[in-house]
């Protein structure tokens, strides 16, 4: 008898529900039984209407169990506490509901092959990954877009820092080297920045988003956090823009003639800090840590993330400016310019470190990052790092080749704009092909 294959798909963001439906339909057509896990009413109603089986963890009781004593909830819920302003007690109760829900489902389907597919990192996703590891269930996470244009990758952890398959290095040859060098040259010429460019506050994108939040406010109430309240949302946007206009006069003039290391900041509420690099949640401490270890006469140039401009408080800006060997430069300066003219890059775990490798610049990473797998990347700010002026190009090229080969090309959640989801039949099919290929590579399916 053929074993039943179940896809557990936790969805907690309404923005992607229509796109997720297309993925679920395609996976169903390929013989998988897809179950949706969600606590969000519009998502639950939407998938039930489209004839999918839906499980709501909120319908389960929060049960304490000694086998889950190793679950560090205070750490796991830090992002939720910060982002959604929820109390730790409320989140503990919520987490225990998720645990009861997932374990009950797994035990009731013990005869099936269960595979978990995730694409976000909220509490429901975090607990799902924890349970998957506990019960040794296949678990995959993907970012909405890869580290190279129009691509995607799959990882076995929500930290998305283990997905680079270093075994591709054994296939590195002259043809592979040419492929890598063409990629590097192309990226340098385009000065492409990974991520989403912030649109104008008066763009159609923000008008649509404002109307969407207004509709949510009318139909579902103001919500229990500042990000679902239209008035708070408008205030936060306006406040950050006003603060940016004011604080931009406090930044230092960019002087490319000084010797400096480039330190890029994360968006303060980004999961990269609140969830994946909690040890450096206070970015000022990371800046201070780096500045205390810099060689004499060398500066640290700090730049706000383009999407986080105006989010740094005056108090933090003042503290940064009080560090004698640290300069806060304008967020309008292109990262590629700073990388090219710097000695190297020191960062917590952002994609600027990956961009710097393509310039063969020394890179030090203080937290989690996928490029820590590169032997030329430093994890300590010691004399060995600061004395390093050049990287071994062959080693870096081999790593870049592994990164490129670990991606699935010509498929992504987004179109080229990074703001519009790509619903094309070809893209959905390519995405599911990529997922099944990864399952076959890991011998999860035949």
Domain spanning 5-163+409-441, CATH class? alpha beta
Specify the pLDDT at position 270: 76
CA distance 70 to 106: 19
Phi-psi region of 316 (alpha: psi -120 to 50; beta: other; left: phi over 0): alpha
Per-position b or e across 402-436, b if 16+ CB within 10 A of its CB: bbbbbbbeebbbbeeeeeebbeeeebbebbbebbe
User: How does DSSP assign 249-273, residue by residue?
Assistant: GGSPPP-TTS-EEEEEPPPTT-HHH
Per-residue confidence of the chain (446 residues) as pLDDT tens digits? 678 999 999 998 888 999 999 999 999 999 999 999 999 898 999 999 999 999 999 898 887 767 676 667 666 666 666 655 667 777 788 888 898 999 999 999 999 999 999 988 778 888 888 888 889 999 999 988 888 888 999 999 888 889 999 999 999 999 999 999 999 998 887 766 654 455 555 556 556 666 665 555 555 444 444 445 556 666 666 667 777 777 777 788 899 999 999 999 988 777 777 777 878 888 999 999 999 999 999 999 999 888 777 777 778 888 998 899 999 998 888 899 999 999 999 999 999 999 999 999 999 999 999 999 999 999 999 999 999 988 999 999 999 999 999 999 989 998 865 568 899 999 999 999 999 999 999 999 98
Q: Please report, for residues 44, 164, 189, 382, 393, the alpha-carbon distance to residue 376 in angstroms, rounded to integers and kept in the order given.
A: 47, 15, 24, 14, 9
**Which of 333, 312, 314, 323 lies closest to 262, judged by CA?**
333
Specify the pLDDT at position 227: 46
CA distance 399 to 228: 42
Specify the pLDDT at position 2: 79
CA distance 273 to 275: 6
Q: Do domains 5-163+409-441 and 180-193+252-404 have the same CATH topology?
A: yes
Domain spanning 180-193+252-404, CATH class? alpha beta
User: How does DSSP assign 308-355, residue by residue?
Assistant: GTT-S-HHHHHHHHTSTTEEEE-TTS-HHHHHHHSSEEEESS-THHHH
Contact between residue 33 and residue 4 where contact means Cβ atoms under 8 Å apart: yes
SS3 99: helix
Residue count (the chain):
446
What is the model's pTM? 0.87
CA distance 153 to 405: 10
Q: Quote the longest CA-to-CA distance of the chain.
A: 72
Specify the pLDDT at position 393: 96
Contact between residue 17 and residue 43 where contact means Cβ atoms under 8 Å apart: yes
Specify the pLDDT at position 206: 58
Residue that is written with structure tokens 């090309």 in the block: 409
Take residue 427 and report the two structure tokens written for it. 């893209």
Take residue 23 and report the two structure tokens written for it. 């993925």
CA distance 50 to 36: 11
User: pLDDT tens digits for 342-355?
Assistant: 999 999 999 999 99
Is residue 263 packed enough to be buried (19+ CB in 10 Å), middle (13-18) or exposed (0-12)?
buried
User: How does DSSP assign 123-186, residue by residue?
Assistant: HHHHHHHHHHHHTT-EEEE--SS-SSSSEE--BSSTT--S---GGGGGG--HHHHHHHHHHHHH
Contact between residue 276 and residue 315 where contact means Cβ atoms under 8 Å apart: no
Residue that is written with structure tokens 């917590």 in the block: 348
Give domain limits for the chain: 5-163+409-441, 180-193+252-404, 198-250
Q: What is the DSSP letter of 366?
A: S
**Which of 111, 91, 131, 182 lies closest to 10, judged by CA?**
131
């Amino acid at each position: 008898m053929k074993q039943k294959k179940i896809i557990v798909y936790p969805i907690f963001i309404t923005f992607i529900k229509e796109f997720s439906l297309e993925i679920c339909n395609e996976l169903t057509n390929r013989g998988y039984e897809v179950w949706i896990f969600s606590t969000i009413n519009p998502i639950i109603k939407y998938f039930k209407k489209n004839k999918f089986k839906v499980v709501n963890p909120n319908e389960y009781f929060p049960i304490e169990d000694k086998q889950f004593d190793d679950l560090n909830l205070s750490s796991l819920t830090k992002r939720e506490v910060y982002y959604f302003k929820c109390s730790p007690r409320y989140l503990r109760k919520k987490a225990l509901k998720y645990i009861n829900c997932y374990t009950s489902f797994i035990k009731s389907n013990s005869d099936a092959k269960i595979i978990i597919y995730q694409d976000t990192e909220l509490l429901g996703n975090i607990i799902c990954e924890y349970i998957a590891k506990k019960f040794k269930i296949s678990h995959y996470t993907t970012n909405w877009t890869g580290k190279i244009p129009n691509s995607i990758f799959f990882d076995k952890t929500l930290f998305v820092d283990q997905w680079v398959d270093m075994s591709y290095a054994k296939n590195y040859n002259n043809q592979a080297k040419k492929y890598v060098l063409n990629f590097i040259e192309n990226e340098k010429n385009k000065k492409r920045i990974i991520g989403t460019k912030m649109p104008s506050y008066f763009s159609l994108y923000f008008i649509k988003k404002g109307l969407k939040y207004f509709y949510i406010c009318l139909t579902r109430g103001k919500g229990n956090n500042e990000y679902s309240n239209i008035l708070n949302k408008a205030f936060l946007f306006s406040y950050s823009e006003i603060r940016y206009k004011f604080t931009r006069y406090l930044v230092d003039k960019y002087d490319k003639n000084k010797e400096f290391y480039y330190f890029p900041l994360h968006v303060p509420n980004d999961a990269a800090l609140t969830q994946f690099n909690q040890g450096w949640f206070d970015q000022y401490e990371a800046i201070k840590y780096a500045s205390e270890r810099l060689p004499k006469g060398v500066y640290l140039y700090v730049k706000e993330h383009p999407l986080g401009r105006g989010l740094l408080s005056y108090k933090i800006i003042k503290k940064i400016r009080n560090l004698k060997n640290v300069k806060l430069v304008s967020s309008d300066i292109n990262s590629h310019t700073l990388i090219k003219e710097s000695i190297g890059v020191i960062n917590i775990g952002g994609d600027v470190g990956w961009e710097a490798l393509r310039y063969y610049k020394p890179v030090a990473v203080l937290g989690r990052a996928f490029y820590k797998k590169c032997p030329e990347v430093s994890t300590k700010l010691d004399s060995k790092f600061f004395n390093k002026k050049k990287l071994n190009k062959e080693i870096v090229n081999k790593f870049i080749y592994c990164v490129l080969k670990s991606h699935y090309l010509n498929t992504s959640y987004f179109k080229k704009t990074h703001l519009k989801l790509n619903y094309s039949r070809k893209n959905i099919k390519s995405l599911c092909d990529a997922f099944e290929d990864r399952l076959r590579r890991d011998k999860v399916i035949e």
